[in-house]
Structure 1
């Protein structure tokens, strides 16, 4: 490895690919190997980052977050590190802090699809449905075939009570990938909610789920 930023970005993508394919041990091994190579090249920031990634992959999110936070301090303008730090913070339940870091990353790289997607997911967790939808719409404007964004757009629309539009998103995602388990699950949830909506008390359940709960989340997690 030559030790350039683009090399580290490629290796991080390879670690992610291995993990997504269910090859977790190989992903951990590669992250450790790249960390060692970075350390030998005097790239301490990336050494910290990949060491943190390996800990996260092993399930030690707290330890991994500590190292990735140190990497972000050493590499303040590196969006790869910022976005991954935000992802770990979100997994730890520190979602508002994750949004703040994603905003910083997007200031540096406004069209970063991963950062936009993570921001959309985090905003949804915090009860900001409209803002979450805006993030997924932005991704689809840049990459119309992005199935992750399409599916998440459906979730955001569903939470805003726009069921027909949400169902269209799930159907389109499943037409492209009929085996997508997340789209299948979200479509079933929406179908059940639509069924409940037609029952005497079902509308109250949906109202509490989609209106009251998000309002409390927003009150507890102001973005300003």
Structure 2
């Protein structure tokens, strides 16, 4: 039995999003361990505006324990889903200055084109550094983008780069000429958020996020926007 969660529906298609508070027992102890022993690096094959590290083994074990129970409990409220499989788990710290963002990093994104994959973001910070928002692309009306829709969606974005113009070099926070914000979940320490990974979304990052993660030249993990992230597949 999983407690401290709520199921919300976002957008015109009422896409399910799960919000879980007190997701991890003694989360602060894990943050302390991460600060002492984890090295974060920028991944070159990743559009994430920051640095990554591996998830602790104990955390991965927690996901293997809690996710099957959670989705089994919610199976009647969601689409008919099978046993979840943990495909990936890692740690992330957003620390990229807006001036260094590429246009694709200034608009909402999807993690996959697959309909059978969910994403997890687990907030491991206390400061007001932004939660997660979900969006609708105004011209196409898309809130989720699957493989059959992706070519049309991406072609539309390319055309809009000329007709509407490139987005400002800033983290998206709310409505723009191209996107409508359809929901926003505030961050709270030890809150986890689960949602279909092809739902358009973005972190609600402040434009001084690079300053929150640094202490001189050193990464200040305990005061940074530290999150754990995972991908969950359903066969």
- Verify same fold: TM over 0.5: no
Please, what TM-score do these two structures have when normalized by structure 2? 0.27
Higher relative contact order (CA 8 A, sep 6+): 2
- In proportion to residue count, which structure has more helix? 1
- In proportion to residue count, which structure has more strand? 2
Larger radius of gyration: 1
